Amino acid sequence: MVEDSENLYAHRSGAERALERLVDAYTPLVRSVCRRYLRDPEDLEDAVQQTFLKFAQHAVRIDSSLASWLVAVAQSSSIDLIRCHQRQQRHLEAVGRAGTLSKASAEHQLVHEVIRQRLQLALLELDPPSRQLVIERFYEKVPLRVIAAREGVAAGTISRRVAAALQDLAAILRDMGINAVDELTLAEHFGDPANLRASQYRDQEGLRFSTEWRATEPTARRDDGVPLSACLPGWNRPIRVGVLVSYLTLVKPASTGVMISEQAQVRTAGLLIHPAFRFVAIVEPGTDAKGPVEQVLREYDLVDGLIDATDEAALRTLDLIMIGVNAFISSSATRALSAAVRSGVGLLNEFWTGEQNIHDEDPHLAELMLSCTPLRAFHTKPHCGEFLTASVIDEHPLLPGLKQGMTFLSYGCGPVYRPTPGTKVLVVKDQVIEQDEHGIPGLGPARMPVCLVGQLGSGRVFIANVLQQAEIAQHLTVSPTDYLLNVVSWLVAPRC
């Protein structure tokens, strides 16, 4: 907003009144975000005040959307307050049971006290990029997906950089004589050990949010404090985007024996940083408190709700469902997801949904892929994952710059099937898969569909059978951000 830019400029020049105007203008937005997490009125006000305190401290460094920045800080401030209460409660319970701190607990506290005393000096010894990353992630609580979008890399890449920075910081502290320090101890010291990628996942107590965390009814209304300028054209409320997170995909290998990273399931959601979106997690029954699932939900800010993947009524409250690369999905989930799309929810589906279930001939799984035949998996030989050429066979406004006859490289492995009548196939891989290779009755020689648009009932569907959207986006005449924003806008347009 021009007015926001003028006010922010005035504040940077020392005009305190400009800061007051911005605080007044954005207090409803910040309070609405904090209210999703906090029930106690005093906690709510504490989180709001903490958010604007951070704004006052960092206003001169904000070079992105002010509304987006405040939403991210309000979320992290609220979660920090919840965690603080949890730590206090656990400490009181431990003291009540033991009556006194054990020797191990005392040593544990001593280590953290020494870390606290030396941490500022150790940070100064870090290389500047690592120091800035630690400050943003652990002090300012900037979400990984926001940092990743700014740097133009995947959230998983930023996660690995955070882990490396903590390793370097731990080494510096050990050189200072604190021998008991490693990167996990540091992450615990910063209050967020879940942000480290563990070599082996284990179940852990879930992060408990307020009642709204499990709400499935839309809570974003015109009066929820979100400025209309932060909404997409034609909308007077944020768009509810449900992102599927499969627990089994996080902890079990796919049919090739390769683990699918958590990033593959939520990568595209991490690229949608526009304030118009509210991200809701979709998980299968009994997996919401699993350690790997909660780690993904926190890292990618999927904290605007939680929906059971088998709950058709809850899924219908969404405007858009996003399904990334995953290997496992139950038939009860595909049935509910398909029904929700048929009712009018948009669907952005990537790669081969339920790769491990692809031979089950689940009709609802086929529907989610816009297929009228059973699905079959094809793997490139001799090395799985080799890239193949793909050709544009039809043009579409959602893919500006892709002209009929153009070719580009696409991830070679993928699903084989016949698209449903009325589906517009835009891109196919050039390699022909013979009947005896795919085994789909009556299909004959076929090529793997790469990019398709169509309908499933009343819901619009966009399918990109690619490992990541960059395979397509890099060949367009618009930026990757604008490409995805246009795709999502088209998918949710009927609900506008």
**Which residue's entry shows tokens 């924003």?**
485
User: pLDDT tens-digit profile of 396-415?
Assistant: 999 999 999 999 999 888 89
Residue 406: Cβ-neighbour burial (10 angstroms; 0-12, 13-18, 19+)? middle
**Which residue's entry shows tokens 């133009």?**
152
User: pLDDT tens-digit profile of 134-190?
Assistant: 888 887 777 666 777 777 776 667 777 888 888 898 888 888 777 778 777 787 777
d(CA 392, CA 399): 10
**What does each C-alpha distance from 227 to 9, 467, 496 come to in angstroms?**
20, 35, 17
Q: What is this structure's pTM?
A: 0.61
pLDDT above 60 for 95: no
Q: Ramachandran region of residue 191, left (φ > 0), alpha (ψ -120 to 50) or beta?
A: left
Q: What is the pLDDT of residue 104?
A: 53
Q: Which of 140-154, 199-213, 426-440 is least confident?
A: 199-213
Q: What is the pLDDT of residue 241?
A: 93
pLDDT above 50 for 443: yes
Q: Tell which wins on pLDDT, 195 or 90.
A: 90
The length of the chain in residues reads: 496
In sequence order, which residues have a C-beta less than 8 Å from that of residue 188 and are 6 or more positions away? 112
Helix, strand, coil distribution of the chain in percent, nearest 5: 50, 15, 35
Q: b/e per residue, 86-117, with b = 16+ CB within 10 A?
A: eeeeeeeeeeeeeeeeeeeeeeeeebbebbee
Strand partners, 378: 414
pLDDT above 90 for 432: yes
107 token code pair: 């040593």
Band (pLDDT 50/70/90 cuts) for residue 103 is low
Angle at 73 between CA 70 and CA 74, to 5 degrees: 80
113 token code pair: 């006290």
Element (H, E) at 451: strand 446-456
Q: Which of 83-97, 238-252, 276-290, 445-459 is least confident?
A: 83-97
d(CA 53, CA 463): 43
**What does each C-alpha distance from 363 to 175, 452, 474 come to in angstroms?**
60, 18, 33
Contact 238, 276 (CB under 8 A): yes
d(CA 195, CA 31): 26
